[in-house]
């Protein structure tokens, strides 16, 4: 079983829709979780990070961690065509491996006008 | 502010040829440095990471090697490329001991023919 599992999609939604992107993880020791956005042929950029459980909101984006079910989510409200990208979830290994991230395989999102 | 530079952006190399990809970071000192590879439609695979000059840790046995000759320089090399080395190579950095997030470079798309 992979440490971080992510549905690759692709996911296609109309402009203005609420998008839900999800990942599951297997190791309960993970504390930090991140979401990256990657445009085609570009390097990933950090969107949000969360620590432990709960929600974190930044504009149209909300990151959520449910440690009891080992589930992490990213919600995008009022989605825009410019949100079309690959979204990658990641976790920090913790312990002596701070800074080493393990990524899900990414979900391809297309928001059409 | 910190910036990360990675070059070249695109590279086409014949099988059996050598490889050298370079990454430099500006505006910080003693960064953690990372090389990732992203195959088409797949997530990011950590290849190497370094916490200091001359200190290289390999995550995946393969046809590649890495070196860190200077504090903010990270080089990915191969003596003889294989077809399976094709992919999108990403360099990244994080502050020492960072618990979340890297900053990625713009990537090198390598095609071995």
Express each pLDDT in A26-59 by its tens digit. Answer: 877 767 889 999 999 899 999 998 877 788 999 9
Is B100 in contact with A88 (Cβ distance < 8 A)?
no
Query: How many angstroms separate the CA atoms of A87 and A105, rounded?
Result: 9
pLDDT of residue B98: 73
pLDDT of residue A28: 72
Nearest C-alpha in A relative to B90: A43
- For residue B107, pLDDT beyond 90: yes
Q: CB-based contacts of A11: which residues, under 8 Å, 6+ apart?
A: A19, A21, A107, A108, A109, A110
Nearest to B32 among A45, A92, A99 (CB): A99
Measure B104 CA to nearest chain A CA, in Å: 6
- DSSP H helical ranges for chain A: none
- For residue B14, pLDDT beyond 90: yes
Express each pLDDT in A52-103 by its tens digit. Answer: 778 899 999 999 998 888 889 999 999 999 999 999 999 886 665 556 788 8
From B45, B49, B71, B69, select the one nearest B58 (Cα to Cα).
B49
pLDDT of residue B40: 74
Express each pLDDT in B39-58 by its tens digit. Answer: 876 788 899 999 999 999 98
pLDDT of residue A30: 63
The full 3-state SS of chain B, as one line of letters, equals CCEEEEECCEEEECCCCCEEEEEEEECCCCCEEEEEEECCCCCEEEEEEEEECCEEEECCCCCCEEEEEECCEEEEEECCCCHHHCEEEEEEEECCCCCCCCEECCCEEEEEC
Nearest C-alpha in B relative to A5: B43
pLDDT of residue A68: 84
3-class secondary structure, A11: strand
Nearest C-alpha in A relative to B44: A103
- For residue B59, pLDDT beyond 90: no
Query: How many angstroms separate the CA atoms of A23 and A4, rounded?
Result: 7
pLDDT of residue B61: 67
Burial of B101 (0-12, 13-18, 19+ CB in 10 A): buried
Kindly list the distances between the CA atom of residue A75 and the CA atoms of B40, B63, B105, in Å, as whole numbers in the listed order.
25, 39, 26
């Amino acid at each position: 079983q992979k440490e971080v599992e992510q549905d690759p999609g692709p996911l296609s939604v109309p402009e203005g829709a609420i998008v839900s992107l999800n990942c599951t993880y297997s190791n309960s020791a993970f504390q930090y979780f991140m979401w990256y956005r990657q445009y085609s042929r570009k390097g990933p950029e950090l969107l949000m990070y969360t620590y432990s459980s709960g929600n974190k909101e930044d504009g149209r984006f909300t990151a959520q961690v449910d440690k009891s079910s080992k589930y992490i989510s990213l919600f995008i409200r009022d989605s825009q065509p410019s949100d079309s990208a690959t979204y990658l979830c990641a976790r920090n290994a913790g312990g002596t491996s701070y800074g080493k991230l393990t990524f899900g395989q990414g979900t391809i999102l297309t928001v059409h006008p | 502010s910190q910036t990360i530079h990675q070059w070249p952006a695109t590279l086409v190399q014949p099988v059996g040829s050598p490889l050298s990809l370079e990454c430099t970071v500006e505006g910080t000192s003693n960064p953690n440095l990372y090389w990732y590879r992203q195959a088409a439609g797949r997530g990011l695979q950590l290849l190497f990471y370094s916490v200091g000059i001359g200190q290289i840790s390999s995550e995946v046995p393969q046809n590649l090697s890495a070196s860190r000759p200077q504090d903010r320089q990270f080089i990915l090399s191969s003596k003889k490329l294989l077809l399976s080395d094709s992919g999108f190579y990403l360099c990244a950095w994080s502050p020492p001991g960072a618990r979340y997030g890297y900053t990625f470079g713009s990537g090198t798309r390598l095609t071995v023919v």
